[in-house]
Amino acid sequence: MNRRNNFFLVMGIFVSAFLLAAPYIVPFFLNTFWVNILTEILIWSVFAASINLLFGYTGLLSFGQALFFGMGAYGVAFGLSVFGMSFWPAFLLGVATATVTAAITGIFAVRLTWSYFTIITVVFSLIFYLFAVGRKDITNGDDGMAFQIPPVFKIGNWQPSLLDITFQYYFVLAIVAAIYLLLWIVMRSPLGYAFIAVRENDKRASLIGISPYRVRYYSFLLSGTLAGIAGVLFALFSRYTTAQYMFWTVSGEGVVWVVVGGTGTLFGPALGTALLIILREELSVHWEHFLILVGIIVIITVTFEPSGLMGMLNRWSTRRRRVPAEAKLSSTTRRIAGS
């Protein structure tokens, strides 16, 4: 166990150091464009984490997370362009809009499980998507809404803005790090264990006093909030929002990232998101049908490595731990036999 923990500790330190220094390291080897790609990966990893919270930890496969993503994006867009808010009130408005939407839809959605839950999440997503497309007078539909971003805060003459690529990167990194820390705390709390208990066997969980409906509702609400934060960050990142963000295929892409990275793991969704977005950026320039390769990767993962990339890393680190132990046991056996 110590070797395995050491392996992930070293990997975590390496990844953390790279992320902290990325805006200064990446331009030396590639170009500034890839700093924006890293920022995008961080944002989408939060969206994937919201899907993983429901699917990997609570056992509910949702194709409706795009609804909360889009509501968060529209919330911050309306706050800035329509209501004339400053940065943080608009940011909180976007998060609140997604959270309230999740609170209302979750009342009905979590009464269902299995494929019925998946279907109703798609239905909710389509209802709001069709409304957003049809009411161009409010949302601008597929044309979307562009907006200007005010400074994040003001300290004397210093007024940092997300228009600065480096500041934008560290701003997103700080929020994403805080979210993953929150998830780490939640999954080690009684609520996190309740999520897993309901996922494994909701009937047995109810026998020990856990309410499956209430636990699923809390998971749905938290995942909706996380998806909303991702929507807010992406709208601020792109300075734009559109009704297409609410379409269920956005959720489908997030599910693919989670499956490839590893369901039920803390950093698996981030790993899957990073891999597939980098592949998209590299291949889309040279090959129009790069999604075929993504489909092949998903098929191979589901068939041969259902636990995803994190499961593969776990097994590899376990194998590294066993080899020295087996060698030591073999050496001891030979010494005993020789004596």
Any idea where the domains of the chain sit in the sequence?
A: 2-338
Kind and range of the H or E run holding 117 = helix 114-134
Of 22, 19, 90, the closest CA to residue 239 belongs to 90
pLDDT computed for residue 324 by the predictor: 54
Q: How far apart are CA 48 and CA 65, in angstroms?
A: 9
CA Rg, the chain, in Å? 22
For the chain, where are the E strands, in sequence order? 145-146, 240-241
Per-10-residue mean pLDDT for the chain, 339 residues long? 66 88 88 91 96 94 95 96 93 97 95 91 94 89 89 85 92 96 95 94 92 96 97 95 92 93 92 91 79 84 84 76 52 51
pLDDT computed for residue 321 by the predictor: 57
pLDDT computed for residue 329 by the predictor: 44
Residue 178, both tokens: 């805080």
Q: How far apart are CA 15 and CA 29, in angstroms?
A: 17
CA 65 to chain centre: 10
Is 1.20.120 the CATH number for 2-338? Answer: no
Of 192, 168, 172, 196, the closest CA to residue 182 belongs to 192
